Amino acid sequence: MDRLHINGGVCLEGEIRIAGAKNSALPVLAAGLLTREPLKVCNMPHLIDITTMLQLLGCMGVQRVVDEKMNVQIDSSTIENLSAPYELVRTMRASILVLGPLLTRHGEAEVALPGGCAIGSRPVNQHITALEAMGASIAVENGYIRARVDGRLKGAHVFMDLVTVTGTENIMMAATLAEGRTIIENAAREPEVVDLADCLNQMGADIKGQGTDTIVINGVRELHGCSYPVMPDRIETGTYLIAAAATRGHVKVKDTRPHTLESVLSKLEQSGASLLVGEDWIELDMRGRRPRAVSLRTAPYPAFPTDMQAQFTALNAVAAGTGSITETVFENRFMHVHEMNRMGANIRVEGNTVFVEGVDRLNGAPVMATDLRASASLIIAGLVSKNETTVDRIYHIDRGYECIEEKLQSLGARISRVPLR
């Protein structure tokens, strides 16, 4: 296990390239289970979660080939095991995404109840209820979801009680090979859902309405392979922009999609950042100024993303004024607050809202990461601190950020990874 050492006080300056989106790559890899032909997935990020998903596919008998550019070709014509074991699923919630593809193509699936970051209950009942409406028989026993269907799944009218990204993706994939039409209402509108739908359509699916709250899927008999580049990671993009704003820096992020980050860019402008935006790049310049505190409320896309609130908490911690951040998506996503207060931040939690009164600078301290985005927020806090900050349990950060210390070093940050003995 490693830790990060950070010596703060440096304004980030320079340019970096954004990696492919983890939250797009994982469902696209699962989509490879829907066809007998090879699927080539390009622009893959080099992350632990990607490695875990490839291991999961491999334990089912799926052939995987990774080239030097991190393009991955998967061939599920050799699949021989329709079970996703607890040993792999427990580390990554996105493993649930193999349930729909296995069931719709092979008529059965056995998937362990998923794990991942401890940021809330995130129940899978909506996945199960929707698949049952499509004709599946499902039992949850001994920690596993066991699903079967006689013949093909049947198209159904599915209403999601709560907006769920993985739920929308799972049912959308299952519906591609179902008999008849499936309509998903109150569907997730996230760009990653659109990216998956675009990939499925390239594979021969008939999907319309992605990006809206109603998705219509007309089932087809089979899908074919294709080559598909996953979209850039909007959360990685936002994280580096917030880090630049907090450190009063000047950074350009390249190979990204600015239109997927409108709510985040709006808040950065409110914080005092000057922004220039191109087709695939964003440039942020604080001109050496201290950021202003902002207030925000998380909600499903296109509103402000829950995956960015911890990073804005770090920015508010050193901003001028007082800001409030209300979390409406997950009930347990303020675990970074205690660690930041240990660094001299002035943050209090009231229910599902944090109130942050900015201080001039934080003080370095040993801190512990509790989940993926909390890890990123503690790194930002370390960048704006006096003295040295050490961040432990950084295996969380490696689940979602590609070579984060190297990218920050290229922007001038004094950060290093130190193996623990």
Active site residues: 117
Concatenate the DSSP letters of all residues of 55-104 into one string: HHHHHTT-EEEE-TT--EEEEGGG----EE-HHHHTT-GGGGGGHHHHHH
50 neighbors 19 (Cβ within 8 angstroms): no
CA distance 381 to 246: 8
Omega cis (within 30) before 366? no
- Over the range 50-84, which residues count as b (16 or more CB within 10 Å of their CB) and which as e? bebbbebbeebebebebeeebebbbbbeebeebbb
The CA–CA distances, whole Å, from 11 to 121, 247, 290, 379, 414 equal 38, 5, 11, 14, 10
Buried b (16+ CB within 10 A) or exposed e, 180-215: eebbbebbbbbbbbbbbbbbbbebbbebebbbeeeb
Angle at which helices 99-106 and 22-31 cross, to 10°? 10
Q: Three-state SS for 374?
A: helix
Which residues, at least 6 apart from 108, have a Cβ–Cβ distance to it below 8 Å?
Answer: 82, 102, 147, 148, 149
Q: Which of 17, 80, 28 shows the shortest CA–CA distance to 50?
A: 28
Are the C-beta atoms of 233 and 240 separated by less than 8 Å?
no
| Crossing angle of the two packed helices 165-176 and 99-106, in degrees rounded to 10 | 10
Which residues on adjacent β-strands are paired with residue 218?
Answer: 181, 206
